[in-house]
Amino acid sequence: MTGHRRVAVVGLGAISKYYLHSIDRLPGWELAAVCDVRESALAPHVDRTPCFQDHRTMLQESDVDAVVVTVPNDVHASVCADALRMRIPVCVEKPLALSLGEGLDLVRLSRAAGVPLFTAFHRRYNDNVLNLLRQTRHPDITSLRVRYLELIEEHIGDDTWYLDPQRCGGGCVADNGPNAFDLVRLFLGDLELVRTNVTRDAGGTDRQAVIELRSAAGVPATVELDWSHPGETKDVEVLFSDGTRLAADMLAGHDGFKSSLWHEYSGILGDFADAITAAPTTTDGGLAALELVDATYRAERRAPAGKPVERADAAVSAGGEK
């Protein structure tokens, strides 16, 4: 593909501004259209960008080379599927889909269309995480921990659908889990679920979870998720065989609320551009993260109330595409 890639952004919620900023500043991208069901969300764009309230109409009437999907989780699958059927490359916010079944269907569509289905895991582009990764060799790691702790109400803006388990796919496991799982995979490769302990609020939403994983090489990892944490803590800690302990604070050096996301979303679009050029026909880990979300919830349902799930009940591999 030569010249600018004409990209459409579907969904103008809290995350869309990071994509729009990156599209505007990165060479090789041109914003071709925006889409949202809300007229109020489209209003800032009407004088400079074609606007649509229906993504199917947008796909039919706009000449686009790629689509960024940042709609609520419960409509990821339908928007992605419609773009893939038209052989348009897709970058979709995590999670890939609301359920594992939907994710598998999207992967099949991607392969049949021969175009990339790219899941956006923005924390893998965090500069502090990448600095830690450069100091790391898989054989030297003896354990790893990822913490993803926040008060969710402070992060969602007007996107209240995050607090609806039917639209979000669950709670902290469904929405923050994929980013955390992807970080563990970035350092350790393929994973299996070992044990999980999920805490739900009075309305049934999972607000905290501690999830123990193990790599194919047997290295243990722990993911700690919390939607009721005062403030914000997001980090990766690695213990090495010589006793050295190194950590990456994803927020360090980025003053201001969510300020790290500006450079992380530029990284997403850079890799998405590479994926379009390479034209792969498999996902990039979105399915593997979704498998771990699914395994965590299934293991929780099988556990006695208040008891963590042991590996004998919960061992599920999450190695990526099938």
What was the pLDDT predicted at 192?
97
What was the pLDDT predicted at 108?
94
What was the pLDDT predicted at 311?
43
Per-residue pLDDT, averaged over 163-189, amounts to 97
Tokens encoding 245:
């302990």
Q: Higher pLDDT residue, 37 or 3?
A: 37
Annotate 78-142 with DSSP letters as a single string: HHHHHHHHTT--EEEESSS-SSHHHHHHHHHHHHHHT--EEEE-GGGG-HHHHHHHHT--GGGEE
What was the pLDDT predicted at 257?
92
Q: Is the pLDDT of residue 203 over 60?
A: yes
What is the C-alpha to C-alpha distance for residues 35 and 17, in angstroms, rounded to an integer? 13
Q: Which CA distances in Å does 110 have to 60, 91, 246, 283, 320? A: 19, 12, 38, 8, 15
Q: Is the pLDDT of residue 6 over 90?
A: yes
Predicted confidence band at 315 (pLDDT cuts at 50, 70, 90)? very low
What was the pLDDT predicted at 322?
31
Per-residue pLDDT, averaged over 140-161, amounts to 95
pLDDT in tens, 204-234: 999 999 999 999 999 999 999 999 999 999 9
Lowest mean pLDDT among 191-200, 266-275, 279-288: 279-288
What is the C-alpha to C-alpha distance for residues 196 and 211, in angstroms, rounded to an integer? 4
Tokens encoding 230:
């005062």
Per-residue pLDDT, averaged over 134-142, amounts to 88
What was the pLDDT predicted at 278?
84
Tell me if 76 sits within 8 A of 18, measured CB to CB: no
What was the pLDDT predicted at 294?
97
| pTM to 2 decimal places | 0.92
What was the pLDDT predicted at 178?
98
What was the pLDDT predicted at 31?
98
Q: Is the pLDDT of residue 321 over 50?
A: no
